[in-house]
Amino acid sequence: AEHHRDQRVAVVGLGRFGISLAEELMRRGWEVLGVDSDEHLVQQHRDTLTHVVLADATDEVVLRQLGIDEFPRAVVAIGTRIEASILTTSNLLELGVPNLWAKAISRQHGKILERLGAHHVILPEHEMGERVAHLVTGRMLNFIEFDDDYALVKTVAPQSTTGMPLSESGVRRRHGVTVVGVKRPGEQFTHATAETVVQPGDVIVVTGRTSAVESFADLT
Ligand code: ADP
């Protein structure tokens, strides 16, 4: 039998973060209910999202009237007004939204949202700042860190990995990272295998423990 996922997301707060998120969901074919208490923002995004509603999300009755309790996913994208963020998060949890993401603007704010029971807490500025630090200091072109000290990095191939099959270069043994993808200039990424020969100037994607991929990306 075909399995239909409920592809609806409620996004509360249509500031820079909320609207970017909502528009990306729309591009991916999801249905988005946007909620904001600012009349101008609601007007502005009337036609960009599936539904846009002018409402104060700190009011639990209003949220119930909007049917947000029926949504499988919701994001609280209120930042600067911490009190409103906390109340809204608490309301949505009370209403039983099963997957709730909440944006925080400081670590303390994030801690409160976590203690309230938010399923996922996002710290966009902190997380992006840490990520950009990796790009600024090294040769990394992109850096994504997962939980549990594991990261994925896009970088220019260091010399020690080029000119021979990956199995012979000993990348995994010597540096503790695994090359998963290779890209020649002007071409698409392809999956790396033991036989892949990386050329100078190629861009590669490697995975491994964060400290290992960091050191690896510092090699020339
Ligand atoms: P950003 O940094 O992403 O722009 P902001 O915190 O500045 O985030 O914006 C959050 C949005 O949340 C604003 O558009 C604001 O109008 C909205 N907002 C704030 N409080 C409430 C509330 N109680 N109910 C609904 N929307 C709210």
**Domains defined along the chain, listed by start:** 8-122 (3.40.50.720), 127-218 (3.30.70.1450)
pLDDT of residue 179: 96
Above 60 in pLDDT, residue 85? Answer: yes
Average pLDDT, the chain: 94
Q: What pLDDT score does 10 carry?
A: 98
Tokens of 109: 């704010």
The CA distance from 163 to 156, in Å, is 14
Global pTM?
Answer: 0.84
- The CA 106 to ligand 1 mean position distance, Å, reads 15
Cα–Cα dist 158/132, whole Å: 20
AA letter at 87: L
Q: What's the pLDDT at 147?
A: 81
Residue 7 C-alpha to ligand 1 middle, in angstroms?
Answer: 23
Q: Whose CA is nearest to atom 6 of ligand 1?
A: 79
pLDDT at 168 over 60: yes
Residue pair 180/207 in contact by the 8 Å Cβ criterion: yes
Q: Considering the chain, what percentage of its residues have pLDDT values greater than 70?
A: 99
Looking at residue 3, its pLDDT comes to 59
Mean of pLDDT values over 39-67: 96
Residue whose tokens read 């990956």: 166
69, two tokens: 């309790």
- Give distance in angstroms: CA of 141 to centre of ligand 1: 32
CA-CA distances (angstroms) from residue 178 to 99, 139, 150, 159, 164? 33, 17, 12, 16, 15
